[in-house]
Chain A
Amino acid sequence: KQEVTQIPAALSVPEGENLVLNCSFTDSAIYNLQWFRQDPGKGLTSLLLIQSSQREQTSGRLNASLDKSSGRSTLYIAASQPGDSATYLCAVSDLTGTASKLTFGTGTRLQVTL
């Protein structure tokens, strides 16, 4: 059974700092990996999707990498801002029959302070 772990569970950094969030998964037979952002009391917003054949994806100040063989992904946030404060979720996708299924980590709660 796939298990996804995110470390650290919580992180507080001062504004402007670069930071890295970690995600690890136990079964390397994945199709893709998604990073989501969740604000308190809100739904999930997809940030980046990395296909299993890719090594990284970039969007603005965000860069996500994937090392499928070692079961690891990182989300790099450059020049953090208070608006980046949220919980970041990692999820891996596999195929069962024709349906894709996401297995989620429990998230990293990020606070960026002024």
Chain B
Amino acid sequence: NAGVTQTPKFRVLKTGQSMTLLCAQDMNHEYMYWYRQDPGMGLRLIHYSVGEGTTAKGEVPDGYNVSRLKKQNFLLGLESAAPSQTSVYFCASSYPPSGTGPDEQYFGPGTRLTVT
């Protein structure tokens, strides 16, 4: 199993450009998440999905859109990139909460994005 994979690994964008980050998981997880990690701050949740065709906003959703057309894929889009979106982006996936509560999240290797 590859687990959670992310493409691309690195990307440099100019202000105003658009791009899509792809997350794929082969663990048949229902839930998927997008986080960003910035220096001096913990990872923050951007958007998440509890199943194919569903998405919801997290803590810092502004400037991002997401889609979950297939269960194994979760796409994060930046329509008009801004320097404030320079960050490392992580995708994660998990099973739905069980009787004991939320399940363990598994993380991808990250995408390092720089917006100039």
Q: Interface on A for B, CB 8 Å cutoff?
A: 4, 31-32, 34, 36, 41-46, 49, 51-53, 89, 91, 93-95, 98-107
Contact B101 A98 (CB under 8 A): no
B17 at interface (Cβ–Cβ under 8 A)? no
Contact A93 B40 (CB under 8 A): no
| Chain B, residue nearest A4 (CB) | B42
Contacts of A34 in B (CB 8 A): 104-105
Stretch at the interface among B69-77, B78-86, B90-98: B90-98
**Distance between Cα atoms of A96 and B104 in the complex (Å):** 16
B43 at interface (Cβ–Cβ under 8 A)? yes
Question: How far, in Å, is A21 (CB) from chain B's closest CB?
Answer: 15
Contact B90 A93 (CB under 8 A): no
Would you call the interface of chain A mostly helix, strand, loop, or mixed? strand
Question: How far, in Å, is B99 (CB) from chain A's closest CB?
Answer: 10
Contacts of B56 in A (CB 8 A): 99
**Distance between Cα atoms of A45 and B92 in the complex (Å):** 11
Contacts of B41 in A (CB 8 A): 106
**Cβ contacts A to B, 26 pairs, < 8 Å:** A4-B42, A41-B112, A42-B109, A44-B43, A44-B90, A44-B92, A45-B107, A46-B106, A49-B104, A53-B100, A89-B42, A89-B43, A91-B43, A93-B102, A98-B97, A99-B31, A99-B56, A100-B31, A100-B97, A100-B101, A100-B103, A101-B45, A101-B48, A102-B43, A102-B45, A104-B43
